Amino acid sequence: MSHSPLTPGIVPGRLDAETYSENFSDLHPPLDRHEARVAADRCYFCHDAPCVTACPTSIDIPLFIRQIATGTPEAAARTIFTQNILGGMCARVCPTETLCEEACVRETAEGKPVKIGELQRYATDTLMATGDHPFERDDPTGKTIAVVGAGPAGLACAHRLAMYGHKVSVYDARPKPGGLNEYGIASYKSTGGFAAAEVDWLLQIGGITIETGKALGNGLSLPDLKAKHDAVFLGIGLASVNALGLGDEDMTGVLPAVDFIAKLRQTSDLASLPIGRDVVVIGGGMTAIDAAVQAKLLGALNVTLFYRRGRDRMNASVFEQDLAASHGVRIITNATPKAIHGNGAVREIEFDYTDDALTPTGETLRLTADQVFSAIGQTLQGEDLPALDGGKISVDETGRTSVSGVWAGGDCASGGDDLTVTAVAEGRDAAEDIHATLMGAVG
C-alpha cells in the first residue's frame, strides 16, 4: 500500500488488498437454501399480484416463489426466464424497492416486503449453476435479423428471436457484449464476471452471432443492415455523455462518471485504479450514486454528491441514497455547478445554491476537489436514425420505429424509465412483434 486515503491528488493504491476485495464483494450475498425457504414462506400468493403488475417484465412472482418454497428452484428459474431471459442480472440490479417489493402487500402489512429480488437471484443462480439452458430453439425459419447493441434490450430481443428459429446477428461497439450490464453497473452488484457469464449462458440457445467493435457510423449503416436482413432491432443505448457546460472540462480530473465506472468494471486490479482524495460527483441518478459509492470504496477520503434539485426529485431510489450515505458519501441538494477552478488540473469546484425553480439564491459553496465525475445524463448517438421524440428514437408500444422493418428498445427508445428490466421487456416485446410480422401473423 503505497498511498492512503489521506494522500493528496489522484493516486492508486489507497487501500490494502484485503480492504479492496471486501469493499467490492457482493452487495447482497446470495441467499442460501434455508434463507430462501424462510423468505419464500412469507409470500401470500396474492391474486393478480401487485408485484407482477409492478414488474416491467411481468414475471409471475407468486408462482416462482411458491416453486422455491416447494423445493423446485429450477422450475422457479424457468418461470422467471420465460418472461425475462436476463432475470439473473435483473435480480442483482433492479431497484426492487421501487418496483415489485414496493408493491408487495407485506410492505403494506408490515413495512417489510418479501425479498423478491434476492429470491429471484436464488432461483436463477441455482439453474444457471447447472450450466443448462432451459429453452430450445425452434426449427430454423430462414429469416435473419440484425440487432445493433448487445446490451439488455438487444440480448433479450436476440434471445427471443433465436428461440423462434430466426438467425440473429448482434453488433456492438464495445469489445465485449453485455452493454451496461458489462460496463455500467456498480461492481458490487455484479461480481465474479456475472455479466459475461450470463451472455455466454444466454447464447446457448444457438442461432446468435455477435460481432464487436461495430456501431452505426462505425462499420454499420442502417440502410445496409435493412437491405441484408429481414428486420433490424436497435438497442444502441445512449452513447454520448452530457457535458457540464462550464468550459473547463479538459482540465485533468474532470471526467464522465460512466467512463470511471466502465474502467472500474473492466480492471483486473483495483489497486491500480487512481482515485482522488476529494471527489465530487454531479448528478442525481443511479450512475451518480454508483460512481460516488465506488469512489469511496476505492479509498477516496471525501466524496460529495451534488444534485441540483431536492432529494425527492433524485432518480436514484431512497435505498440507493441510503446506500451512498451509509458508505460516507455526503449528499448536497439544490446546488448547481458554477465554475471549476484550477490550473490545468482541478483544485476546487464552486456551486450556486438554488431554489426549487433552479434560480440561484445568491449563496455559493466552494469545495476542494481533485476529481469531478459528471453524471448528468447521456444522449443518443448514431447515423441515419429513425425519427426521434424528445432526443430518443420514437417507438410505439411494440417497438416499431418510423422506418418500416426497424424496431428499437432500451435506453435509446422513447418511453420507459432507462432500467435494465425495462430494456429487457422492450427487447422481448419487439422480438415478439418482429416474429409475428415476419411470420405473417400481423402486418
Partner 1 sequence: MADLTTDFVGIKSPNPFWLASAPPTDKEYNVRRAFEAGWGGVVWKTLGEAGPPVVNVNGPRYGAIWGADRRLLGLNNIELITDRPLEVNLREIKSVKRDYPDRAVVVSLMVPCEEEAWKAILPLVEETGADGVELNFGCPHGMSERGMGSAVGQVPEYIEMVTRWVKQNTRMPCIVKLTPNITDIRKPAAAAHAGGADAVSLINTINSITSVNLDSFAPEPTIDGKGAHGGYCGPAVKPIALNMVAEIARTPEMANLPISGIGGVTTWRDAAEFMALGAGNVQVCTAAMTYGFKIVQEMISGLSQYMDEKGMTSTSELVRRAVPNLSDWQNLNLNYIAKAKIDEDLCIKCGRCYAACEDTSHQAIAMSDDRVFSVKDEECVACNLCVNVCPVENCITMEAMAPGSTDPRTGKTVQATPADWTTHPNNPATRAAE
Name the site residues for partner 1 (rule: CB under 8 A): 37-38, 41-42, 44-50, 105-106, 108-109
Query: Residues with Cβ < 8 Å from 399, sequence gap 6 or more?
Result: 233, 407, 408, 409, 413, 426, 427, 429, 430, 433
Nearer to partner 1, 68 or 324 (CB): 68
Q: From the CB of 99, what's the least distance to partner 1, in Å? A: 17
Q: From the CB of 44, what's the least distance to partner 1, in Å? A: 5
Nearer to partner 1, 42 or 78 (CB): 42
Backbone angles phi, psi at 241, to 5 degrees: -100, 145
C-alpha cell at 296: 469511496
| Nearest Cα to Cα of residue 91 among 158, 157, 189, 177 | 189
244 vs 10: CA distance, rounded Å: 21
Sign of CA dihedral 111, 112, 114, 120: positive
Q: From the CB of 74, what's the least distance to partner 1, in Å? A: 16
Structure-derived torsion over alpha carbons of residues 416, 417, 420, 425, reported in degrees to the nearest 10: -20
Q: From the CB of 48, what's the least distance to partner 1, in Å? A: 6
C-alpha cell at 46: 396474492
Strands 335-342 and 278-282, by their bridges, are unpaired
Backbone angles phi, psi at 146, to 5 degrees: -95, 130
Q: From the CB of 42, what's the least distance to partner 1, in Å? A: 8
3 state SS of 83: helix
Q: From the CB of 129, what's the least distance to partner 1, in Å? A: 21
Phi-psi region at 178: left, alpha or beta (left = phi > 0; alpha = psi -120 to 50): left
194 vs 236: CA distance, rounded Å: 21
3 state SS of 436: helix
Q: From the CB of 106, what's the least distance to partner 1, in Å? A: 7
Q: From the CB of 75, what's the least distance to partner 1, in Å? A: 15
Sheet containing strand 360-368, edge to edge, reads 335-342, 346-354, 360-368
* Helix residue spans in 211-356 (DSSP H): 222-228, 257-266, 286-297, 318-326
Q: From the CB of 232, what's the least distance to partner 1, in Å? A: 37
Is 333:304 a contact under the CB 8 Å cutoff?
no
Nearer to partner 1, 71 or 223 (CB): 71
Nearer to partner 1, 42 or 341 (CB): 42
Nearer to partner 1, 53 or 191 (CB): 53
Strands 167-172 and 144-148, by their bridges, are parallel
3 state SS of 362: strand
